[in-house]
Amino acid sequence: MADCLFCRIVARQLEAKVVFEDNKLVAIHDINPAAPVHILLIPKKHLGSLSEVSEEDVELLGHLQVTASRLARELNLESYRLVNNCGVSAGQSVFHIHYHLLGGRNFQWPPG
């Protein structure tokens, strides 16, 4: 989508600090980190949010989680959070599905 921020990052039309990329996703450093490690895992396929996924996205979403696990391992993160904000009230601000991989500090529960 031409007017989607993350589609433009995926297409390398906008700069980002890329941590990992394959044919299904790109992982980048968040521009405004909320933890010492804050990586965004962004599927290349445009989906507005988690509420838009369907059965055909099972493999993609699985791949995303396995990649998050591998990146966390490579970064020596013993504990971490993998977060998806779905919808405005949940804190979603970019409407292209993505997961936050957060680590390097203590986290509270329940989240704010």
Q: How far is the CB of 108 from ligand 5GP (least distance, A)?
A: 17
| Dist CA 9 CA 32 (whole Å) | 15
Catalytic residue annotation: 98
Q: How far is the CB of 52 from ligand 5GP (least distance, A)?
A: 14
For residues 28 and 6, is the Cβ–Cβ distance under 8 A? no
Q: How far is the CB of 12 from ligand 5GP (least distance, A)?
A: 13
Residue 60 binds: one of Zn ion, ligand 5GP, none (C-beta under 5 to 8 A by kind): none
| Dist CA 81 CA 77 (whole Å) | 10
Tell me which residues touch ligand 5GP (CB under 6 A).
Answer: 5, 16, 28, 30-32, 40, 85, 91-94
Residue 18 binds: one of Zn ion, ligand 5GP, none (C-beta under 5 to 8 A by kind): none
Q: Which residues of 77-109 are buried (b: 16+ CB within 10 A; e: fewer)?
A: beebbbbbbeeeeeebeebbbbbbbbbeeeeee
Residue 62 binds: one of Zn ion, ligand 5GP, none (C-beta under 5 to 8 A by kind): none
Phi/psi-derived region of residue 75, left when phi > 0, alpha when psi is between -120 and 50, beta in every other case: alpha
Residue among 26 and 77 whose Cβ is closer to ligand 5GP:
26
